[in-house]
Structure 1
Amino acid sequence: MDMATSEVAFGKVRAAAEAGQMIPPNWAVDENGRPVTDARLAKAVTPMSGAKGYAIGLMIELFSSALSGMAYGPGIVRKFDDWEHPQQLGYFVQAIDPAAFFPLDEFKAGVDEILDDISRQPAAEDNPFGRVLIPGEPEHERKAQRLKEGCPIAPVIAAQLRELGERHGVPWPGN
């Protein structure tokens, strides 16, 4: 599992800012910690699930910064604001060998049973997918689609990439 412990990844807020779009008030806060709907004013994203998400995020922060000796929070160079300095990001990776706890074939059968049971549950009427999904399933499907059809790029991002390429002598594909 690789995910942000915030309500959304900051990249979504940045994309909304560049597109001039508003964001939900639970996505980000300004420099004073007040919720914002104008993505251009966002200075930080909010933790997922309120206080419980904050606790999980803090635990991950402690593992990936204090445990590794790397920067945390305000000490991390923001990748979108400063391309000249390393971010000083720390990472925490945990690997578990299920066979150390239980026979592997029984573990796999249990996982399959749980995932199958979740997938068989009725979807809510307003579920845009029409079915109950397993975490990561939409991303897996999107990856397969993009490998087949290509990746869409927002016009504002495409313009920035084209300009960056021109500045550094890298031709835009199709020119």
Structure 2
Amino acid sequence: MKLLEDGSYLVDAPRLEALVQAMLEKVDVPAPDAALVAGSLVSADARGMNSHGVLRLPVYIRRLQQGGFKPASRGTVVKETAATMLIDGGEGLGAVLTSHAMDIAIEKARTTGIAAVGIRNSNHNGENAYYVQRAIAQDMIGIATTNGSPIMPVWGGKTPLTGPLPIAIGVPTGEALPIVLDAALGMSSRGKILYYAEKGMQLPDGWLVDAEGRPTNDPNWVKNGGWILPIGGHKGWGLILACEILSGLLTGGAFGQELTNLYDDLDRPQRNGHFVIAINIAAFTDVAAFKERMDAYIAIMKASERAPGVDEILMPGEIEFRKEKKQRAEGLAVSRSVIDEVVAVARGLGLDATAML
């Protein structure tokens, strides 16, 4: 572990992942599940999505200690058909439950062509890109969404009833990097705005309003009654509504103000819902031919005449794939305050994190 000039630490990815797994095992998470959660958190940091990385680990640990997260639940089947499944998550770890759900959808889609799995009574599940990449690895298109605690109002309102919910879509390719779109449908995610607050950074214009709905660049308003604006105004709000319907209402789970914020009431489950879809490309067309066509399509787009000031046409996920490759080779840049908090939490669990890193 090395302290960089900007105040962050350069950390070896495998060492950080091993530490996260060890910490989760200390609070009774089974080793395979601890490895999965550790992989998802470190993957987010490697991809530059620090708002969904080990920044979240300390609150995960506190929730596991206080009962808001159950350490060992892969859920129980509520209802099943050849192409669908509904899982009650039993208040388990969101990353474990969503990974399990996507794997089930993939297996079902081998036979049915397309499959969907819904989850209710889960908890925070991190970066949805992690789950659609499981489908990509199996030559399938993956889609994943989730609901979350209410930190933004309906379009035109002031009462918090939903959040800047995310949707992720992953598409396999041949030689080109896969397409991975993972977008919070607000101007930003709460996690990213909390990251700005933690770093003392000012927000770009148009991301956030204060408790009265007035534009602000102060990220601390996300904790003090302000809310994140949806992308594209009312159109973005409509997409958020669709994610809430799939994740919370279709699953028969909690929605809106029934959900608990990740950082509040640590002894209470959040009751998040998730929804994943796997599409078997082979059910529609030859997989190799599809990948060749995707490569050709990407090449056409990247060869576009560029607008002034644009150096390169980039595909969804391309920046993150490049950053991950670099950081896994050279080390992850993680905020000093995040590492210091992880080290302190690890010490409380009886682990010497400094030695492990």
Alignment TM-score, normalising by the size of structure 2: 0.44
| Higher strand proportion | 2
| 1:113 aligned counterpart, secondary structure | helix
Match of 1:171 in 2: 352
Paired residues of 1:64 and 1:91 also in contact (CA < 8 A): yes
Match of 1:55 in 2: 238
Residues 29-44 of structure 1 correspond to what in structure 2 (within 5 A)? 29-42=209-222, 43-44=226-227
Residue range with higher mean Cα deviation, 13-22 or 107-116: 107-116
Q: Distance in 1 between matches of 2:265 and 2:335?
A: 22
2:335 aligned to which of 154, 157, 163: 154
1:69 aligned to which of 230, 240, 252: 252
Q: Distance in 1 between matches of 2:266 and 2:213?
A: 25
Return the letter of the residue paired with 1:23: L
Q: Distance in 2 between matches of 1:70 and 1:44?
A: 24
1:4 partnered with 2:184: yes
1:28 aligned to which of 191, 208, 212: 208
Root-mean-square deviation over aligned CA pairs: 2.3
Larger relative contact order, structure 1 or 2 (CA cutoff 8 Å, min sep 6): 2
Instruction: Provide the aligned length of Structure 1 versus Structure 2.
Output: 173
Q: Distance in 2 between matches of 1:161 and 1:82?
A: 21
Match of 2:312 in 1: 131
Return the letter of the residue paired with 1:27: W
Return the letter of the residue paired with 2:328: L
> Could you list the per-position Cα deviations for residues 113-163 of structure 1 after superposition, in whole angstroms to 9, with x for gaps in the alignment?
211111112444433xx3111101111111111211221111222232233
Paired residues of 2:254 and 2:272 also in contact (CA < 8 A): yes
Paired residues of 1:76 and 1:89 also in contact (CA < 8 A): yes
Q: Distance in 1 between matches of 2:257 and 2:203?
A: 23
Residue range with higher mean Cα deviation, 36-45 or 5-14: 36-45
Paired residues of 2:247 and 2:274 also in contact (CA < 8 A): yes
Paired residues of 1:29 and 1:35 also in contact (CA < 8 A): yes
Q: Distance in 2 between matches of 1:70 and 1:29?
A: 29
Structure 1 residue 91 displacement after superposition: 0.9
Q: Distance in 1 between matches of 2:212 and 2:351?
A: 41
| 1:77 aligned counterpart, secondary structure | coil
Paired residues of 1:118 and 1:132 also in contact (CA < 8 A): yes
Q: In structure 2, list runs of 5 or more residues that go unmatched.
A: 1-168, 170-181
Residues 90-129 of structure 1 correspond to what in structure 2 (within 5 A)? 90-127=273-310
Q: In structure 1, list runs of 5 or more residues that go unmatched.
A: none
